[in-house]
């Protein structure tokens, strides 16, 4: 959603509040895609004068992320609590020179989708588990070990596989 802040800049002590409805139904990165199951985000802008706007964002986004061990879907809630003074006096060149990361603000246009995407991106966890003691999946048959044990532990390896296992066991002892 694009929000034009031009009218707000014309009002002294003006305030604007916006509920944000995310247009995207999934969060995409270069390597993964996570469905968005729920979002409740509110933006607030207040004109402080002299082309300065106080910007505040509060809310949450719930992504469905697969467990890192068993691959079961896990709802993961990302809370957003952000506050910043937007200096509308800066030109694009000044922002680049200062390495300002306001890519969501171009002129007086504020792109809420870009802002929320960036906040989700920096808040993504390194690891997600369905539960603390997740047992994961069997590395042979792929069975979810949280649902019960598999029969791979009792299975006898074939003749070709037993030779490979002998090699691995040889290096284990070192």
Residue-wise DSSP of the chain: -EEE-HHHHHSTT-EEEEEE--S-SEEE-SS-EEEEEEEEEEEEEEEEETTEEEEEEEEEEEEEEE-TTT--EEEEEEEEEEEEEEETT--HHHHHHTT---TTEETTEEEHHHHHHHHHHHH--S---SSTT---B-TTT--BTTS---STTTPPPPHHHHHHHHHHHHHHT-
Q: Establish if 129 belongs to a structural domain.
A: no
Q: Establish if 37 belongs to a structural domain.
A: yes
20: nearest Cα among 55, 47, 51, 48: 55
Contact yes or no for 141/150 (Cβ under 8 A):
yes
Tell me, yes or no, whether 38 and 112 share the same domain: yes
- pLDDT for position 99: 46
- Residue appearing with tokens 């969501």: 104
What is the reported pTM? 0.74
Tell me, yes or no, whether 104 and 44 share the same domain: yes
Average pLDDT value for the chain: 83
Tell me, yes or no, whether 89 and 12 share the same domain: yes
Minimum mean pLDDT range among 57-61, 66-70, 79-83, 151-155 = 151-155
Tell me, yes or no, whether 88 and 171 share the same domain: no
Question: Strands of 109-111's sheet, edge to edge?
Answer: 2-4, 109-111, 105-106
Tell me, yes or no, whether 53 and 111 share the same domain: yes
Using one digit for the tens of pLDDT, what is the confidence trace for 119-134? 999 999 999 999 999 9
Tell me, yes or no, whether 153 and 94 share the same domain: no
Query: Which residue range is the domain that position 174 belongs to?
Result: 138-174
Q: Where residue 155 falls among pLDDT bands split at 50, 70, 90?
A: low
- pLDDT for position 67: 93
Tell me, yes or no, whether 144 and 86 share the same domain: no
Tell me, yes or no, whether 35 and 63 share the same domain: yes
Tell me, yes or no, whether 108 and 53 share the same domain: yes
Contact yes or no for 63/35 (Cβ under 8 A):
yes
Q: What is the average pLDDT across 15-25?
A: 87
Q: Establish if 60 belongs to a structural domain.
A: yes
Q: Establish if 130 belongs to a structural domain.
A: no
Residue 94 has pLDDT above 60, yes or no: no
Q: What is the average pLDDT across 91-106?
A: 61
CB atoms within 10 A of CB 22: 18
Q: Establish if 131 belongs to a structural domain.
A: no
Tell me, yes or no, whether 31 and 64 share the same domain: yes
Residue 17 has pLDDT above 70, yes or no: yes
Locate 162 and state its tokens.
């037993």
Domain count of the fold of the chain = 2
d(CA 87, CA 72): 44
Q: Establish if 132 belongs to a structural domain.
A: no
Tell me, yes or no, whether 116 and 42 share the same domain: yes
Q: Establish if 50 belongs to a structural domain.
A: yes
Tell me, yes or no, whether 68 and 101 share the same domain: yes
Task: Please provide residue 117's backbone torsions phi and psi, each rounded to the nearest 5 degrees.
Answer: -60, -45
Using one digit for the tens of pLDDT, what is the confidence trace for 41-70? 999 999 888 888 899 999 999 999 999 999
| Percent of the chain's residues with pLDDT above 90 | 34
């Amino acid at each position: 959603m694009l929000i034009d802040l031009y009218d707000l800049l014309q009002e002294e002590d003006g305030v604007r509040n916006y509920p944000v409805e995310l247009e995207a139904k999934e969060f995409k990165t270069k390597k993964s895609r996570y469905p968005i199951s729920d979002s409740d985000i509110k933006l607030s802008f207040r004109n402080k004068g002299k082309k300065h706007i106080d910007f505040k964002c509060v809310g949450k986004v719930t992504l469905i992320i697969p467990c890192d061990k068993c691959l079961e879907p896990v709802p993961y809630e990302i809370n957003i609590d952000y506050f910043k003074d937007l200096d509308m006096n800066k030109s694009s060149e000044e922002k680049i020179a200062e390495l300002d990361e306001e890519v969501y603000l171009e002129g007086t246009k504020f792109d809420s989708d870009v802002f929320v995407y960036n906040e989700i991106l920096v808040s993504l966890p390194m690891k997600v588990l369905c539960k603390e003691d997740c047992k994961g999946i069997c590395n042979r048959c792929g069975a979810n070990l949280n649902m019960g044990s598999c029969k791979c532990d009792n299975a006898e390896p074939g003749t070709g596989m037993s030779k490979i296992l002998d090699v691995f066991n040889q290096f284990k002892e070192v």
